């Protein structure tokens, strides 16, 4: 167990290191310049700005300084686009929002996706299966920028307790969470169905059936745990992705989350912001994968021995 955690942590650190290194150079290779604006930026101004952000130094020095500032002072630098704001402040402000929204939509995704998958497996190749899978396929195919406006018009506008967009009322979380949950629910449904079909054809299930154990009990007691393993493996990265926000859902519903920063960071050549986010996302992804690995250990005794 400790060995697993330790090796996972080391792996994560290694992955984050390579990720940041790659993104550090990749983001600088994007065409455009962070200091371009509608009004001409003179050579002198640009030089001053580049000196202020340390962009005038050779790339290897910049790269070295980037790590140095993080490791010695915990400083991710200033945002180049939103001038005067620290990357760490931007993440600190926006992450709790994305986390809250992500957790709720993950919860919705679980309570929709898993039952849907189980039903589909139980009624394999019957109309229930087809309907469940059509719903799941639609959840994957219909993207958020189609679903979002539909929900805004169908629920947000006619219902007085729901706002179309915004982040001021506590009910404001509902529509974006539901929009986000469909993708997760759809994947979960398909993975659960697959896992469940696999388990249900096993001998021990047949034995249980032969013994006359009620279907409900077979599912909850015997089939559920192994059948959910693929879903749990998927949940790790899905968890990290969903709690770091989605650009589309956030701009449609005016949610002050982290997803917007990813896209504005790229389009405005905001190197520091993009790097800070990638670093943060990388670490989260590592933690989430570790958690899903540990969960699998608890679910599958065979893995514990290995």
Tokens matching residue 276: 């800070």
- By beta-carbon proximity to other proteins, the closer residue of 43 and 203 is 43
Running DSSP on this structure, what letter comes out for residue 86?
B
- At its nearest, how many Å lie between other proteins and the CB of residue 84? 5
Residues that bind other proteins (CB under 8 A): 31-34, 36-45, 47-49, 51-52, 78, 81-85, 90, 93-94, 104, 107, 149, 152-153, 156-157, 160-161, 163-171, 174, 250-254, 256-257, 260, 267-269
Output 54 or 194, the one with its CB closest to other proteins. 54
Q: Which is nearer to other proteins, 187 or 253 (CB)?
A: 253
Q: CB–CB of 88/77 below 8 Å?
A: no
Do the Cβ atoms of 268 and 260 come closer than 8 Å? no
Q: Cβ closer to other proteins: 139 or 148?
A: 148
Q: How far is the CB of 211 from other proteins (least distance, A)?
A: 29
Nearer to other proteins (CB atom), residue 151 or residue 285: 151
Nearer to other proteins, 85 or 217 (CB): 85
Q: To the nearest whole angstrom, how small is the minimum distance from the Cβ of residue 169 to other proteins?
A: 6
User: Least separation, in Å, of the C-beta of 281 and other proteins?
Assistant: 18
In 10 A of CB 36, how many CB atoms? 12
Beta carbons of 100 and 240 less than 8 angstroms apart: no
Nearer to other proteins, 74 or 301 (CB): 74
Distances (CA, A) of 29 to 38, 59, 229, 263, 266: 22, 11, 40, 16, 11
Long-range contacts, stretch 199-203, CB < 8 angstroms, 24+ apart: 199/223, 199/226, 199/227, 200/121, 200/122, 200/227
| Cβ closest to other proteins, residue 226 vs residue 257 | 257
3 state SS for 14-82 = HHHHHHHHHHHHHHHHCCCCCCCCCCCCCHHHHHHHHHHCCCCCCHHHHHHHHHHHHHHHCCCCECCCC
- Dihedral (CA of 54, 57, 60, 61) sign: negative
Tell me how far apart the alpha carbons of residues 47 and 33 are, in angstroms, rounded to a whole number: 12
Give the shortest CB-9-to-other proteins separation in angstroms: 27
Least distance from C-beta 76 to other proteins, angstroms? 15
Work out how close the CB of 23 gets to other proteins at its nearest, in angstroms, rounded to a whole number: 18
* CB count in 10 Å sphere of residue 303: 13
Task: Report the C-alpha gap between 131 and 188 in whole angstroms.
Answer: 15
CB of 137 to other proteins, least distance (A): 26
Look at the block and give the residue holding tokens 């679903």.
147
């Amino acid at each position: 167990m400790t060995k697993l955690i330790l090796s996972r942590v080391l792996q994560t650190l290694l992955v984050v290191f390579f990720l940041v290194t790659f993104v550090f150079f990749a983001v600088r290779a994007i065409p455009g310049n962070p200091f371009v604006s509608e009004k001409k930026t003179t050579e002198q101004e640009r030089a001053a700005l580049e000196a202020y952000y340390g962009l005038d130094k050779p790339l290897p020095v910049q790269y070295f300084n980037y790590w140095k500032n993080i490791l010695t002072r915990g400083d991710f630098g200033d945002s180049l686009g939103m001038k005067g704001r620290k990357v760490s402040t931007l993440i600190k402000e926006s992450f709790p929002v994305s986390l809250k929204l992500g957790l709720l939509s993950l919860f919705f995704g679980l309570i929709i996706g898993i039952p849907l998958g189980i039903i589909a497996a139980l009624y394999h190749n019957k109309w229930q299966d087809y309907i469940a899978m059509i719903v799941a396929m639609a959840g994957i195919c219909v993207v958020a920028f189609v679903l979002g406006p539909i929900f805004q018009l169908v629920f947000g506008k006619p219902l007085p307790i729901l706002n179309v967009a915004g982040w001021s009322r506590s009910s404001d979380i509902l529509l974006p969470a539901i929009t986000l949950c469909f993708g997760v629910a759809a994947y979960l449904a398909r993975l659960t169905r697959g896992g469940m079909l696999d388990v249900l054809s096993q001998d021990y299930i047949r034995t249980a059936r032969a013994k006359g154990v009620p279907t409900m009990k077979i599912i909850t007691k015997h089939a559920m745990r192994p059948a959910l393993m693929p879903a749990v493996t998927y949940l790790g990265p899905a968890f990290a992705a969903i709690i770091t926000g989605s650009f589309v859902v956030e701009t449609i519903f005016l949610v002050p989350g982290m997803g917007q920063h990813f896209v504005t960071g790229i389009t405005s050549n905001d190197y520091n912001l993009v790097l800070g986010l990638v670093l943060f996302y990388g670490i989260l992804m590592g933690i989430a994968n570790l958690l899903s690995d540990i969960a699998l250990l608890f679910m599958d005794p065979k893995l514990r021995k290995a």
